[in-house]
Chains A and B, each alone.
Chain A
């Protein structure tokens, strides 16, 4: 009894994992590692992919591709200024926990035209459908803090939606450009590609890229963050040396 249940469960799992005769997605990134140095003004990574028919026969299928790049997770406090006795002070605040530091959604047409609202929400496709949990949790689109959080991140180029971000070179070969602004935080970025046909998810594929900062500035920033006390000692020594040098060079008596 128990064994037969297990066999059925296994069969169902296999069936779900590899549906017979469905398209397969294959893609590659131009680089899996982005080095940011002091003159870094942003970068563009290129993603190429193909839709493998894998035994399916369709008449002029119009595939849709959604590329979602999600940066490392972080907690962000969003504060709102209010006027208190004539001066503007930070009053209310909300913390967004585990929100992506970077979020890019690239598609070959309007997101709304790819699948139904329900599917988009379930698959978390598009910035508005991505769950960014605040103190109260859940997706509430009319919340002013969430709206401000998304707006500021869009302004900084960290959150972006591009309905022309994916282009089909042939009916089966596509290309996507991933824009990374200079302020992109370091860490592991998840790259997820989803294939849709007539509003249905056919396949999806995952990869990752890493952003690493290099150079003198990064060395200083890392030292300040990881070895605060030693960094402080070094800075004070620098100040003492400069002061001493000035006293020697400009000695007047």
Chain B
């Protein structure tokens, strides 16, 4: 069944897009990540312009993170004060990100920057995941117990001023690194169409020593608010949010996430992480190929003032 996407301005098969939402939702539920870093590239590969893909996936992530926030809220696994501090930086980062997005679009370099950012991000994350899971698999083969990572020892970050006590997380830290982390996540999220959970969670655990019990719920609040405001800003300034596309994706995404979460509890992690790592690396390589090979058509047209 073909449907015409009003903003992306092209017809797509509803079931293809729905299945993509389902598949990415499954993976995101299984690994507890937002999935934007897979969803946006997939949309670009089926021919949706990178700008529309980024803006519409923001909406999709807002939906999936909201259902996550509700689940963690019920379990009281959210540190509200910590989330507010992250949000202070996150909103500023999102605003700056959307601003840069518009500027890059006006000079015709947005697609290039999105491609390069994905190549860098997916290449790095994919390699790290492969390396980590290969280590874990070989340890398991040798019969050694899983390595327990300890939060880093005293870092210079903990010497920064404006310290606050976060009761739920039981940490006493400076708010400056929290603002910076929120800013960075909001900024790259707005440009790349990712929630940034897979960067935010390790940063909070290893740098800020947030206990693992509250870290995912708290990071989902940041994802929800930055992605919802990115949607709003992309819609108001660039008119690029495709609500029809976003709706199909989010329905597929939330359903897939439920099955993914159930499957994730049953299946051994290492092999799966290795597979995901390879998948992420391949998507990154695809961006590299698109950037390096000579395009069939060197010229492109864009109507001004739309």
Residues of A within 8 A of B (CB): 38, 74-83, 86-90, 93, 95, 101, 145, 148-149, 151-153, 183, 217-218, 220-221, 224-225, 228-229, 231-236, 238-240, 242-247, 250-253
Contacts and interface: CB of A to CB of B under 8 A. Distances in A.
A231 B235 contact: yes
Interface residues of B, number: 60
B105 to A, nearest CB: 11
Contacts of A152: 297, 299-301
B301 A217 contact: no
Given A224-B241, A244-B66, A149 B301 contact: yes
A228 to B, nearest CB: 4
A135 to B, nearest CB: 13
A81 B116 CA distance: 16
B300 A79 contact: yes
Nearest to A38: B4
B78 to A, nearest CB: 14
A217 B233 CA distance: 21
A243 B239 contact: no
- The residue in B75, B293, B297 that gathers the most chain A C-beta atoms within 10 A of its C-beta is B297
Contacts of B64: 243, 246
B269 to A, nearest CB: 20
Contacts of A231: 235, 239, 241, 243
A239 B237 contact: no
A220 B6 CA distance: 6
A2 B216 CA distance: 89
Nearest to A224: B239
Contacts of B232: 229, 232-233, 236
Contacts of B295: 81, 88
A109 B255 CA distance: 60
B299 to A, nearest CB: 4
B294 interface: yes
Contact of B301 (A77, A220, A235, A242): A77
Given A80-B299, A87-B291, A243-B254, A229 B67 contact: no
Interface stretch (B37-45, B170-178, B207-215, B244-252): B244-252
A82 B109 CA distance: 12
Interface string B284-304: 000000011111011111111
Contact of B59 (A79, A228, A236): A236
Interface in B147-173: none
A151 B301 CA distance: 11
B301 A86 contact: no
B300 A90 contact: yes
Contacts of B70: 243-244, 247
A77 B302 contact: yes
Contacts of A234: 243
Contact of A217 (B244, B250, B298): B244
B228 interface: yes
A239 B246 contact: yes
A90 B7 CA distance: 23
A75 B6 contact: no
B235 A243 contact: no
A233 B62 CA distance: 12
Given A235-B231, A246-B67, A218 B6 contact: yes
A239 B60 contact: yes
B51 to A, nearest CB: 13
A228 B112 contact: no
A235 B246 contact: yes
B231 A239 contact: yes
A217 B6 contact: yes
A239 B301 contact: no
B146 interface: no
B189 to A, nearest CB: 15
Given A81-B295, A224-B239, A228-B237, A74 B303 contact: yes
B290 to A, nearest CB: 9
